[in-house]
Structure 1
Amino acid sequence: MSNSHVQTRVDAANRILFTGGGSAGHVTVNLALIPQFLSDGWEVEYIGSETGIERELIASSLPIPYYPIATGKLRRYLSKDNIKDPFRVIKGVTQAYRHIRARRPDVVFSKGGFVSVPVVIGAWLNRVPVVLHESDLTPGLANKIASRFAVGICTTFPETEAYIGGGKCHYVGPVLREEIGMGGAERGLAFSGFSDGGLSGDRKPVILVMGGSLGSMSINTAVRQALPELTQRFRVVHLCGRGHLDPAADNPDYRQFEYIDKELPDLLAMSDLIVSRAGSNSLFEFLSLKKPMLLIPLTKQQSRGDQLLNAASFERSGYAKVLQEERLDAAQLVRAVADLYSDKESYIRRMGDTPIGDARGRLQRLIVQAAGKEAEG
């Protein structure tokens, strides 16, 4: 059992409901917490969207009931869907309210994303305490709305409290999945078909490219255009997103996958460099593994700017090099990767000087306290 395990005084009525989705980043913390609650004897359920990535991730990873509800996107911009989506949100609130009223969980834990808002409101209407988690430096719109109905908001960055206020914030630090540190480099090389040469010093170093759970067209294009130069020095494993495989990208030192789940710890273990977006959960996982990273954050036109702030924070700390998407092309990518690799030992040293701590244990204790259950140890 990991050091973050929290023993709780359990009876048959102890029940927790998790929610969150829309992207893998809105599920990762839930995947880290749920096994601990199951181990402690809690009944665990999940409410998510009908078609979101959370449904697949939960079904493939955990033996818990999953209840889908209607959801609508909460937009800050004009769209014809803004007319329809409020009705989907109202339907989702009704569905969540009825489920929570019937099941009476002791506490609801929300990781955020648009699907979480109806669940949080449904819990509040049933007077069930809600604990939120915000991974990014600044809160998203869903968590801003949901925070009004929560008894506590747990944060990854200490600076986040300044953007929320209200005296509800608890800084816990990064919550990491236990399995992320259990990867095997040899298994990763074998899975990728790069096992010839094994871990010997004369093998080509490996770059792992991650464009997010849905992939990134700009990163995919730049990587594939840069392959002739990159593969002179590196091997490249590319997680390109569903529907974005390119059969024409044929190179003996290049492997592409739409999405990886169970094998991801092995791919991380074998990788010498990471090229990635700048979602908070992923960044702290790379930090814990001491992987030098080149970050290409989403622009303000593509997002609310949270990844720009995350990336800037990691660059200031000396953990990452940042390449803005506006400057991204094959030549800039090759240059940035070469610079990162030439200075990789300095990045590794700085990451090694940073303690991660037991955020998962702190977060679990706060959830247990909100549920009105006492924790021991």
Structure 2
Amino acid sequence: MKKAVIVGGGTGGHIIPAIVVALELEKKGYMLKWIGSIKSKNLEEKIIHNYFSKIEIYHIPSGKLRRKKNIFLTIFNIKNILDIFQILFGTIYSIFILIKQKPNFVFSKGGFVSVPVAFACKILKIRFYTHESDYTVGLANKINLYFSKKFFYSFKDTIKMLPQNKSVFSSNPVRSDFFENNIDIINCIVDDNIKNFLERRKEKLPLILVLGGSLGSLKINEIILKILPQLCNEYYIIHQTGDNKKLEFSNPRYFQISFISKDVSNCMKLSSIIISRSGANLVFEIVATGKPAIFIPLKSASRGEQVSNANYFALKSPLYSVLDEDEIDSNKLLNEIKRLTAKSDFNRYDKSEKVEFDEIKIRAEKIIVDTIEEDLSIK
């Protein structure tokens, strides 16, 4: 039987696109195994088991390079030194996993959990494929690039940073439900609490969806909290706060939840405007639904990739706005919400303002799987 190992962990941004590819591989008859990180074991199992209840998941140690202001501080950072051993242990563990599983190939979604697996694949001569979601290439994927048979990327302009001989434009894998047009969206909601909140909406008011990424965002939570009394006068709000980040606020028009799992696509479709961080996976999901959004990039992200992700789409379409988290205040966010919602009939924007992005026209998971199978057929 054909077998593939998927590598993805750390955050939802690495896990979700890998799941989309895994679902496509499952359709093609592959037996799947998963390698994730010990550090994010609970999150990985929570998300992955929503789609594959019986999949075997291995969790390996993996290090992370913490970049400092100068090379001396980077090299002699004690955590970086200790993490060299984590990478070594992760590589050894990966070798044992791959010897046991004997996969036809390994597909990686990047992140530092993938680096030990890339080393192991090189040692065992197993074909290794990598995908980059962000506009800029992360450090882990810069390492993986040397070991990859094919390197898939999400933004068309990213090719400027990559070798053309092994790079393939695939876009970012987005779950199929983000592209589906459901007539009765509320009845498709799985979470009873979200469904009850939406069914209680009596006034015809716009719905705001607030997302801080899979882990939530304290910064966005703090800003939103300051204007919630005003927002609840004019809008309904669904707010993904993140685990252990509950806000002390109550209003019939406000609903908060630590993490939206299978219902996020339907919540996006029902919303009039989305406020979110701009990790690549989240950005692509929002753009796939065609809903206007205010992006508040996490500037402390390792190389500023969230800023690049958000600006790429905002510069091409008036439906997207980017606010600097260091300069934003409650009034600025409130004004931007009003500006974007004032142009719409709650859910519909002027068709002339919609841009058909090449990144959304194609289905990434099909391109990735077809390319891998074509490459595997070449001895």
TM-score scaled by length of structure 2: 0.88
Q: Which of 165, 168, 190 pairs up with 1:167? A: 165
- The residue number in structure 1 matching 2:353 is 350
- The residue number in structure 2 matching 1:315 is 314
CA distance in 1, matches of 2:194, 2:113: 38
Residue pair 1:109, 1:367 contacting (<8 A) in 2 also: no
Which deviates more, 167-176 or 217-226? 167-176
- Paired residue type of 2:113: V
Q: Which of 94, 98, 110 pairs up with 1:112? A: 110
Deviation of 1:352 (Å): 5.8
- The residue number in structure 1 matching 2:200 is 196
CA distance in 2, matches of 1:126, 1:231: 58
Q: Which of 20, 44, 47 pairs up with 2:35? A: 47
- The residue number in structure 2 matching 1:20 is 8
Deviation of 1:174 (Å): 3.0
SS at match of 1:194: helix
CA deviation string 1:321-367 (max 9, x = no partner): 11111122211110111111123455765336446223221111112
SS at match of 2:198: coil
Q: CA RMSD in A?
A: 2.1
Runs of 5+ unmatched residues, structure 1: 1-11
**Matched residues, percent identical?**
29
- Paired residue type of 2:67: R
- Paired residue type of 1:33: V
Distance 1:180 1:353, change over 3 A: closer
CA distance in 2, matches of 1:66, 1:206: 37
Runs of 5+ unmatched residues, structure 2: 69-73
Residue pair 2:64, 2:83 contacting (<8 A) in 1 also: yes
Matches within 5 A, 1:1-377: 12=1, 14-52=2-40, 53-62=43-52, 63-77=54-68, 78=74, 79-165=77-163, 167-182=165-180, 185-187=185-187, 188=189, 191=195, 193-197=197-201, 202-246=203-247, 248-299=248-299, 301-318=300-317, 319-344=319-344, 345-346=348-349, 349-351=352-354, 353-354=356-357, 356-372=361-377
Which deviates more, 356-365 or 75-84? 75-84
CA distance in 2, matches of 1:278, 1:145: 24
CA deviation string 1:126-147 (max 9, x = no partner): 1111111011111111101111
CA distance in 2, matches of 1:80, 1:348: 54
Residue pair 1:290, 1:348 contacting (<8 A) in 2 also: no
- The residue number in structure 2 matching 1:5 is none
Deviation of 1:285 (Å): 1.4
Residue pair 1:134, 1:143 contacting (<8 A) in 2 also: yes
SS at match of 1:224: helix
Distance 1:348 1:84, change over 3 A: farther
Distance 1:351 1:367, change over 3 A: farther
CA distance in 1, matches of 2:195, 2:352: 29
CA distance in 1, matches of 2:123, 2:374: 20
TM-score scaled by length of structure 1: 0.89
CA deviation string 1:169-207 (max 9, x = no partner): 111123211133456532459525131347xxx521111
Distance 1:192 1:350, change over 3 A: farther
Deviation of 1:61 (Å): 2.1
Residue pair 1:49, 1:55 contacting (<8 A) in 2 also: no
Residue pair 1:292, 1:347 contacting (<8 A) in 2 also: no
SS at match of 1:325: coil
- The residue number in structure 1 matching 2:71 is none
Residue pair 1:155, 1:173 contacting (<8 A) in 2 also: yes
CA deviation string 1:294-323 (max 9, x = no partner): 000111x34311111111111111141111
